[in-house]
């Protein structure tokens, strides 16, 4: 209801303001152009996030100081803490990054974002930046129309910078013209009441504009035109810092538990920092004066002093909060717990990850492994075995010799509870990712989708096999019981071999080594059907048993085939180029048959 009213109200207020004052219109247009510039800048940097930024993130976050520096440097370069936050949440959800490293990056990003104030106060207001904006826009747009992705990316970055500059120019012009007609400074409120009031205004402005950077530029341009007092500008800056966490909280609503924890850390950091800044405001103002004096900043240059203040209080926040990172991780893990539900959901994927190709791919891979772990558990239970038996070095046949009874498990129920939801989420995610960026990693996504399908088919195959298997394993007819035991052992042995491959216990196994498993499967199939016909021919099993065995052998072949195909995608550790070469060389069914024929 509130949302329905909010937007028309904002539109009405803005329209009334535009009608009332052309200067207000210019300031608002400046903010709009500035925000559009930020969107364009983010779009541009996203082109590069597929490679450099993500590799850098993987490498440079193993120590706290490194994650802090990463946050500072990337936010300084991209001038967008939002993009860095979203990237961090994506990597956190994909399990590439730990929560404490993520918090380090967020702390760093808070400091990095203060460079924006320096740029605007030190450069934007002193130089006629609109003169730079025009060529940037022209070159940028030409590059945006280019086919190559990296040129397009550079184009978006240039266009973004051009619009940022143009936006600042319009805000500056608007405030300067505004000064002649109207004195906003008359509404200045001094003391703690003013501090709190303007901090709240800063929060509100940032929530509306969804960017603390835009709020800060607006504050600096208003301050430069003497529309607000220095003290009130400081309060607005504190408010902007707190307001930016609302954006992070909103985006974390759709995130998984780790994303929510990171947003929680962001809120705690900015909240505590803001609170300290409000309490220690006079000490901070004194410190800003001392630092400004030592940096040679003029005592009346309030815009640069605001930049000093912004950096100083964020730095102070980092210094205060740094020792509390580990307690904060513990606190957030206790407060924001994973809900233990009966139905198991995805662990690594959520919509924000789609934005970053490498993180998305890794998330899907991990999620598929997650599905496989549950599926394997179901298959093993469906075969009437335990994981300890299957993954033991002792021969399975011997271990199962003394098995007197087999407990029936409800595979359909287990599938619905442990696999179905994750499987549906992965398929939906891959489909959405396909539309997001078709050019990067399309084949990897295709193979991962196939791997998911294979895992689910293997579970369903086990369900079909289970019915007759449970009946005939305890049959009085020794022959049929032996055959069904052989069938289930063949699946379990394959799971054992795949387990070895997954854990890297077999040194020379890659996609091509899976051909050996395919060969074994074919051979097993041939021997199985020979035995089957012999058993029927010699009347050792009834024709009814024979037809069941024939159908179930087909299920077993399909289960094993699915598991081998899945492994060729999921357990491959080679580079993309090498694995695709191996895939090309891997033998198909008829080629495997040829090898068998030659051999026999």
Q: Which is nearer to another protein, 412 or 591 (CB)?
A: 591
CB of 598 to another protein, least distance (A): 6
Q: How far is the CB of 82 from another protein (least distance, A)?
A: 33
Q: How far is the CB of 260 from another protein (least distance, A)?
A: 41
312 binds another protein (CB under 8 A): no
Burial letters for 388-419: b for 16+ Cβ neighbours within 10 Å, e otherwise? ebbbeeeebeebbeeeeebeebebeebbebbb
Write the CB contacts of 561 (distance below 8 Å, at least 6 apart in sequence).
518, 521
By CB under 8 A, name the one of 188, 189, 200, 595 that touches another protein.
595
What is the rounded CA–CA span in Å between residue 371 and residue 426?
Answer: 10
Contacts of 414 (CB under 8 A, 6+ apart): 377, 378, 381
Q: Does 319 bind another protein (CB under 8 A)?
A: no
Choice between 536 and 595, CB closer to another protein: 595
Q: Which is nearer to another protein, 298 or 516 (CB)?
A: 516
The nearer residue to another protein, 141 or 519, going by C-beta atoms, is: 519
CB 43, CB 156: distance < 8 Å:
yes
Whole-number Å distance between alpha carbons of 17 and 14: 5
- Residue 369, interface with another protein (CB under 8 A)? no
Taking the complex as a whole, the smallest distance from the CB of residue 581 to another protein amounts, in Å, to 4
Residue placing its CB nearer to another protein in the complex, 62 or 588: 588
Q: Which residue has the tokens 């495997």?
A: 592
**Cα–Cα separations (whole angstroms), residue 198 to 195, 238, 306, 522:** 5, 9, 15, 76
Considering beta carbons, is residue 294 or 584 the nearer one to another protein? 584
**Residue 161 CB, nearest approach to another protein (Å):** 29
CA distance linking residue 568 with residue 511, whole number of Å: 5
Q: How many residues does the chain have?
A: 600
Q: Is 393 in the site for another protein (CB under 8 A)?
A: no
Would you say 274 and 303 are in contact if contact means Cβ atoms under 8 Å apart?
Answer: no
Q: Which stretch binds another protein (CB under 8 A): 193-201, 232-240, 546-554, 580-588?
A: 580-588
Contact 357, 441 (CB under 8 A): yes
Q: Where are the alpha helices (DSSP H) in 98-190?
A: 99-112, 115-119, 130-144, 149-181
Angle at 434 between CA 42 and CA 452, to 5 degrees: 130
Q: For another protein, which stretch binds (CB under 8 A), given 18-26, 227-235, 346-354, 591-599?
A: 591-599
Between 283 and 594, name the residue whose CB sits nearer to another protein: 594
Min CB(145)–another protein separation in Å:
19
Tell me if 197 contacts another protein by CB under 8 A.
no
Considering only 183, 373, 589, 591, the residue that binds another protein (CB under 8 A) is 591
The answer to whether residue 594 forms part of the interface with another protein (CB under 8 A) is yes
**329 is an interface residue for another protein by CB under 8 A:** no
Query: Rounded to an integer, what distance in angstroms lies between the CA atom of residue 479 and that of residue 532?
Result: 10
The answer to whether residues 133 and 125 touch, using CB atoms and an 8 Å cutoff, is no
For residue 68, give both structure tokens: 């802090």
For the CB of residue 518, give the shortest distance to another protein in the complex, in Å. Answer: 9
At 429, list the tokens.
């995610």
Stretch that binds another protein, among 80-88, 283-291, 419-427, 572-580 (CB under 8 A): 572-580
Q: Which is nearer to another protein, 373 or 516 (CB)?
A: 516
CA distances to 318, 383, 572 from 363, rounded to whole Å, are 30, 30, 16
φ/ψ of 326, rounded to 5, equals -65, -45
- Residue count, binding to another protein (CB under 8 A): 19
Q: Evaluate whether 436 touches 352 at the Cβ level (below 8 Å).
A: no
- Give least dist CB 51 to another protein, A: 16
For tokens 């802090």, what's the residue? 68
Span from 67-75, 77-85, 386-394, 573-581 in contact with another protein (CB under 8 A)? 573-581
Q: Which of 373, 381, 325, 376 minimizes the C-alpha distance to 347?
A: 373
Cβ pair 432, 351 in contact under 8 A: yes
Residues between 489 and 528 with contacts to another protein, criterion CB under 8 A: 508, 512, 515-516, 519
Q: For another protein, which residue of 183, 584, 589, 590 counts as binding (CB under 8 A)?
A: 584
32 binds another protein (CB under 8 A): no
* Candidate ranges 102-110, 126-134, 496-504, 590-598; the one touching another protein (CB under 8 A): 590-598
- Judge contact between 70 and 191, C-beta under 8 A: no
Contact call for residue 151 and another protein (CB under 8 A) = no
- What is the smallest separation between the CB atom of 456 and another protein, expressed in angstroms? 29
Residue selected from 568, 586, 589, 590 as contacting another protein according to rule CB under 8 A: 586
The yes or no reply on residue 439 touching another protein (CB under 8 A) is no
The residue among 283 and 591 lying less far from another protein, judged by its C-beta, is: 591
Structure tokens at 15: 């329209």
- Give the nearer residue to another protein in terms of CB position, either 59 or 150: 150
Q: Which residues bind another protein (CB under 8 A)?
A: 508, 512, 515-516, 519, 577-578, 580-582, 584-587, 591, 594-595, 598-599
């Amino acid at each position: 209801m509130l949302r329905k009213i909010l937007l028309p109200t904002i539109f009405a207020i803005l329209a009334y303001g535009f009608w009332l004052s052309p200067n207000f219109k210019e300031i608002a247009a400046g903010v709009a152009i500035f925000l559009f510039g930020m969107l364009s800048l983010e779009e541009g940097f996203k082109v590069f996030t597929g490679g450099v930024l993500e590799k850098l993130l993987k490498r440079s976050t193993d120590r706290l100081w490194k994650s802090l520096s990463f946050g500072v440097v990337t936010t300084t370069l991209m001038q967008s803490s939002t993009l860095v936050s979203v990237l961090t949440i994506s990597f956190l959800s994909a399990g590439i990054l730990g929560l404490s490293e993520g918090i380090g990056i967020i702390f760093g990003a808070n400091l990095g974002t203060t460079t924006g104030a320096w740029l605007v106060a030190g450069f934007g207001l002193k130089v006629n930046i609109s003169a730079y904006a025009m060529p940037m826009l022209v070159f940028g747009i030409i590059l945006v129309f280019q086919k190559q992705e990296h040129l397009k990316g550079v184009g978006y970055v240039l266009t973004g910078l051009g619009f940022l500059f143009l936006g600042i120019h319009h805000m500056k012009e608007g405030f300067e013209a505004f000064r002649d007609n109207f004195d906003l400074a008359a509404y200045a409120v001094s003391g703690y009441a003013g501090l709190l009031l303007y901090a709240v205004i800063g929060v509100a402005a940032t929530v509306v504009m969804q960017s603390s950077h835009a709020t800060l530029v607006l504050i600096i341009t208003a301050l430069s035109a003497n529309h607000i007092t220095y003290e009130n500008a400081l309060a607005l800056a504190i408010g902007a810092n707190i307001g930016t966490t609302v954006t992070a909280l909103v985006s974390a609503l759709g995130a998984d538990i780790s994303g929510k924890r990171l947003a929680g850390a962001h809120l705690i950091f900015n909240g505590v920092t803001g609170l300290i800044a409000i309490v220690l405001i006079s000490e901070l103002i004194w410190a800003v004066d001392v630092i400004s004096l030592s940096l040679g900043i003029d005592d009346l240059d309030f815009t640069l002093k605001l930049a000093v203040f912004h950096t100083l209080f964020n730095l102070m926040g980092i210094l205060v909060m740094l020792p509390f990172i580990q307690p904060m991780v513990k606190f957030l893990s206790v407060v924001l717990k994973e809900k233990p539900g009966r139905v198991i959901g995805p662990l690594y994927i959520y919509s924000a990850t789609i934005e970053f190709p490498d993180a998305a791919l890794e998330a899907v891979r991990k999620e598929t492994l997650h599905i496989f772990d549950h599926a394997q558990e179901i298959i093993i239970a469906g075969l009437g075995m335990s994981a300890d038996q299957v993954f033991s070095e002792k021969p399975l046949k011997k271990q199962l010799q003394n098995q007197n009874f087999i407990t029936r498990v409800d595979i359909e129920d287990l599938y619905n509870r442990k696999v179905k939801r994750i499987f549906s989420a992965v398929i939906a995610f891959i489909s959405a990712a396909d539309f997001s960026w078709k050019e990067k990693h399309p084949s990897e996504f295709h193979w991962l989708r196939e791997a998911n399908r294979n895992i689910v088919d293997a579970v369903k195959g086990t369900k079909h096999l289970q019915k007759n298997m449970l009946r005939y394993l305890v049959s009085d007819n020794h022959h049929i019981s032996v055959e069904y035991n052989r069938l289930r052992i063949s699946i379990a042995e394959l799971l054992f071999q795949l387990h070895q491959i997954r854990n890297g216990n077999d040194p020379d196994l890659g996609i091509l080594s899976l051909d050996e498993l395919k060969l074994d499967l074919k051979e097993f199939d041939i021997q199985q059907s020979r035995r089957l016909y012999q058993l029927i021919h010699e009347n050792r099993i009834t024709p009814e048993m024979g037809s069941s065995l024939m159908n179930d052998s087909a299920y077993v072949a399909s289960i094993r085939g699915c598991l081998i195909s899945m492994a060729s995608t999921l357990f491959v550790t080679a580079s993309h180029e090498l694995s695709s070469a191996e895939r090309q060389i891997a033998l198909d069914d008829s080629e495997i048959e040829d090898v068998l024929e030659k051999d026999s």
